[in-house]
Amino acid sequence: MPENRIYHSIKIDVQHCIGCVACMKACPTKAIRVRKRRAIINYDRCIDCGECLRVCPCNAVVSLTTSAADLSRFKYKVALPSPVLYSQFGQNTMPNTVLAALEETGFDRVYDEAVICEMTSLAIEEYLVNRKGAGPTISTTCPVVVRLIQRLFPDLCSLIVPIEPPREIAAKNLRAEISKKLDIPDNEIGIIHITSCPAKMVSINQPESMSKSYLNGAVSIRDIFNQIMMKIKKPSLHGIMDPQWSSSSIGINWAITGGETNCLKTSNTIAVSGVYDTIRILGDVESGRLKKINYLECMICPDGCVGGPLAVENRFIAKSNIIRLIRHLGNRRVVDAGYVRKLYKDGFFSFEHAVAPRPFTPLDNNRDMAIKKFKMKEQIMKKLPGINCGVCGAPDCETLAEDIAREAARLEECIFLAAT
Amino acid sequence: MRPAVRPRFGFGFDKGMNEGETIFHEEFTVRGGDFANAGDASCRIRRILKDIGVDADIIRRVAIASYEAEMNVVMYAKSGIMMLDVTSVQILIKVEDQGQGIENIELAMQPGFSTATPEMREMGFGAGMGLPNIKKNSDVFDIKSELGSGTRLKIIIHLNGKHA
């Protein structure tokens, strides 16, 4: 059983918050309230999706990522950038240039995740071929989707594909290789994900399918962008471009929505991006509507990881850059399928344990009381004006009604009722 | 939420309803042919169960049974009423529709049997698994039908016990 406390990577910086309700309105799980002109996150309902971060006009929503100071404790530092990084430096900056510049910012080694993305696609294919049940399975790549399923759709936990995402597979591989080849103790190796995602810290600090993550941290693209940019400008760097260097264009697909499904042979797939559409499609899965689908790729960020709030380039340009890069590289595959099949059989890609449901706290732990409170909530809703103004500090009338039923708010907080 | 409408005819499904203490009752009108809003009632049912803390595997069973039952009304009837009663120990769903009725229930219960049109099948419905699926996911399943007037369905799912 998972421990009750859930790690979160998003918090409100009260110094900057003006209580404008933008985040409260945007939150898909109704986790934010505004009290005394400050936003407060109810962590019991937060899934770390980053919608609040995206809409905040004052930069008052911050995400906890790994800082340069955190990195210094590792003797041997490896950067494992998401393929999103390749989309951040304009049209003509090739992955090898980006990787070389990234290494120069202070890493002992950089590793191209795209190759592992391609491997993971093959492993997923192997899983789908050998799977006995019917109906959709759901991708594990987006840590927020995993959290969303655990909390909002706990009955769908069994549909999560039990294969670790590429970042973990890559780190697992690297960790073994480095400690063997270079004889460096495990705790001195720091494998750092470079990401546009505020939730990677969640899956690193509290992995849901293994006891300990193979990654040591996640650095935001925003934080490291400028340093990489400076190194890219150095003309000498272009001299070290390795003509033999080859990235997997199949793997680079993973940076954008539909990329993961694009890598699979089966076409009975659906790719969805954006938190609201993800919630909608998971509702359809719950109804049993997607029986004919084998694989469902959900990405919380619009357009996939390129739309992550910690990216620098706007997501449309970034997506265009990724598509351009894939075309440029052709449909290049660099991984030996037979080797992956062997690794798959050895369980190299597999979860240590299944993802367990972590449903939201019910209205009451006593079922009878919970039903009573649900009825109460319905009655309160009838009294409220239903215009969802948010002045009470709850995102909409239904949520205020629920808060009142939970004894976390009072009816008088509605200004319409107070005025009459 | 759609306006609740009282059913025009009763079917005597009241026995076995008073299990558990607090009863939450809600009714939904389901319009035949309204594919755009199909699934709203079962979505609402799932929401209620999650709010009152029902176990995940039970929600899954209710989700499938209630959605299939709702879709049967949308696909085959002119209109129908879906009634939900939740107590602390069970969930009771009754569906009463005014439609063509089922000629041979035994046949309709056969997996794969369907009278769906090609259009419905194209949309992914009408695989002939609706009623068998509902039955599979229910603890109590009762169906009565009168040709030309309508079908009545009663589903009970226990909230605590294990499903056979």
pLDDT in tens, A333-362: 888 899 999 999 999 999 999 999 999 999
Dihedral angle sign, alpha carbons of residues A239, A245, A250, A251: negative
Region of residue A112 (left: phi > 0; alpha: psi -120 to 50; beta: else):
beta
Band (B147; pLDDT cuts 50, 70, 90): confident
Whether A413 has a pLDDT exceeding 90, the answer reads yes
Q: Does B56 touch chain A (CB under 8 A)?
A: yes
Q: For residue B130, give the chain A residue with the closest CA.
A: A288
pLDDT in tens, A29-72: 999 999 999 999 999 999 999 999 999 999 999 999 998 888 99
Q: What percent of chain B has pLDDT over 90?
A: 40
Residues in CB range of B2: below 8 A, 6 or more apart: B28, B29, B40, B41
Domains of chain B: 29-158 (3.30.565.10)
- Greatest pairwise CA separation for chain A in angstroms: 76
Q: Does A30 touch chain B (CB under 8 A)?
A: no
Supply the pLDDT for residue A245: 57
Q: Does B112 touch chain A (CB under 8 A)?
A: no
Interface test with A, best of B52, B82, B137 (most A CBs within 10 A): B52
CB contact under 8 A, A154 and B59: yes
Q: What is the dihedral of CA A89, A331, A251, A194, to 10 degrees?
A: -10
CB contact under 8 A, B127 and A291: yes
Supply the pLDDT for residue A233: 66
Supply the pLDDT for residue A234: 57
ipTM above 0.85, yes or no: no
User: What phi, psi does B118 have (nearest 5°)?
Assistant: -55, -35
Band (B160; pLDDT cuts 50, 70, 90): confident
CB contact under 8 A, B53 and A154: no
Whether B6 has a pLDDT exceeding 70, the answer reads no
Lowest mean pLDDT among A234-238, A248-252, A256-260: A234-238
Mean pLDDT calculated for residue range B24-39: 90
Q: Does A162 touch chain B (CB under 8 A)?
A: no
Interface test with A, best of B1, B19, B22 (most A CBs within 10 A): B22
Average per-residue pLDDT for chain A: 91
CB contact under 8 A, B124 and A292: yes
Q: For residue A149, give the chain B residue with the closest CA.
A: B56
Chain A CB contacts of B159 under 8 Å are: 367
Supply the pLDDT for residue B1: 45
Rounded CA-CA distance A29/A402 in Å is: 13
Mean pLDDT calculated for residue range B6-29: 60
Residues in CB range of A68: below 8 A, 6 or more apart: A106, A223
Q: Please, are residues B84 and B92 in contact by the beta-carbon 8 Å criterion? A: yes
State the smallest CA–CA distance between residue A134 and chain B in angstroms: 13
Mean pLDDT calculated for residue range A288-298: 92
Q: What is the dihedral of CA B110, B116, B121, B125, to 10 degrees?
A: -70
Lowest mean pLDDT among A85-89, B67-71, B111-115: B111-115
Q: Does A157 touch chain B (CB under 8 A)?
A: yes
Supply the pLDDT for residue A92: 81
State the smallest CA–CA distance between residue A137 and chain B in angstroms: 15
Mean pLDDT calculated for residue range B70-92: 91
Q: Please, are residues A385 and A411 in contact by the beta-carbon 8 Å criterion? A: no
Chain B CB contacts of A362 under 8 Å are: 50-53
Task: Name A33's bridge partners.
Answer: A40
Whether B51 has a pLDDT exceeding 50, the answer reads yes
Mean pLDDT calculated for residue range A63-83: 92
Q: Does A363 touch chain B (CB under 8 A)?
A: yes
Q: Does A127 touch chain B (CB under 8 A)?
A: no
Query: How many contacts does A have with B, using Cβ atoms within 8 A?
Result: 78
CB contact under 8 A, B42 and A287: yes
Q: Does B90 touch chain A (CB under 8 A)?
A: no
CB contact under 8 A, A155 and B57: yes
Chain B CB contacts of A283 under 8 Å are: 39, 43, 46
